[in-house]
A = this chain, B = another copy of it.
Amino acid sequence: MSELRKDLITREWVIMSPERARRPSDFQHEQAAQAVITKNHSVCPFCPGNESMTPSEILAFRKKGAKPDSSDWWVRVVPNRFPALMIEGKPNRSEHLIYDRMDGIGAHEVIVETREHGKPLSRLDERQMKEVWWMYKERYTDLCKDSRLKYILIFKNHGKVAGASIEHSHSQLIATPMIPQQVWLKIKGIEQYFDYRDTCAYCDMVRAESGQENRTAAENESFIAIEPYAARHPFETWIIPKRHSHSFIDTKESERDDLTGILKEVLLKLELCLNDPPYNYAIINAPINSGVIGQFHWHLEIIPRLTIAAGFELGTGIYINPVPPEESAKYLREIKTIV
């Protein structure tokens, strides 16, 4: 069982995960080992036919009547084999000396996005990408019913440098029994902006950037993809819905084509412009089961992993970005994609 521990000063929680425990010598050899494993398709646990290599599935999209864990799925969700947080139990919050802790309960799931090993998300056809996002919604909606959970993050690691230990394209979901401090600070920031200007900061950003070529990478009727004014990372891209909404699950039927369309367009532009860079993305929604929604405006943050956060970033939280967003937006706009 993992454990959640709270920093005395920053109030940030940390997940101590002995399920993922390693000896000092493991750190030196694991990258080499990972490279070997992921190159061998026959042992890929996410390939069709290898369903028995994962824990029993949570949900899959497949033909009606077909059996769970059979191989005819097109999107499949399984528990993470080395879960950071476990679904069983209660938080059992308690003190240890001057510190706060709780049991590591929550959820940790893997969403396998395609049957095809080696096909990245950017290359899925739009129908399949819509199925992936439909699965995100299914799992998100289901876990919202669990009142112990206060936040759900759906995210994706693409490429080893971005933390993907398995090559076969997949996303992950982690649900936590508390609101992450970073999300809490965003809620406060949104609230302070609203108090001062009577508007939502993200709505204002959409208004400021929409129709301008300055920092816009792509745009359609319902969404805008911008390189944010204070981008921390080169080619950091945010996809923001133009309609104010606190969660991606409120996306209307009519907006769904625009969402997958702009996501595919942006991922392809990044892939072509930066030669398939490692990247992370995360869907930033409001907390759940907490009564804390406020003026939250959901969005997707995409972060190509091109630079290294070093001592200055770790010590101050201030990032040094060598590529101003106006430049990266220009590069991305100039890339032609067929979508």
- Residues of chain A whose beta carbon lies under 8 Å from any beta carbon of chain B: 3, 5-18, 20-22, 24-25, 27-28, 84, 96-99, 151, 153, 155-157, 161-164, 172, 174, 176, 180-183, 185-186, 189-190, 193, 201-202, 204-205, 208, 228-232, 234-235, 273-275, 277, 280-284, 301, 303, 306, 308-312, 314-324, 327, 331
Contact A306 B27 (CB under 8 A): yes
A37 CB to nearest chain B CB (Å):
16
Interface centre among A235, A301, A312, A323 (most CB of B within 10 A): A312
Inter-chain contacts of A5 with B (CB < 8 A): 229-230
In whole angstroms, what is the CA distance A228 to B9 when docked? Answer: 12
Contact present for B230 and A7 (CB under 8 Å): yes
Residues of B within 8 A of A8 (CB): 189, 193, 201, 204-205, 229-230
A232/B155 contact (C-beta < 8 A), A162-B311, A205-B8, A277-B27 known: no
Summarize A's interface: helix, strand, loop or mixed: mixed
Number of copies: 2
Structural contact, B99 and A230, CB atoms closer than 8 A? yes
By a CB distance below 8 angstroms, the chain B residues around A16 are 321, 324
B18–A331 contact, CB under 8 A? no
Contact A311 B172 (CB under 8 A): yes
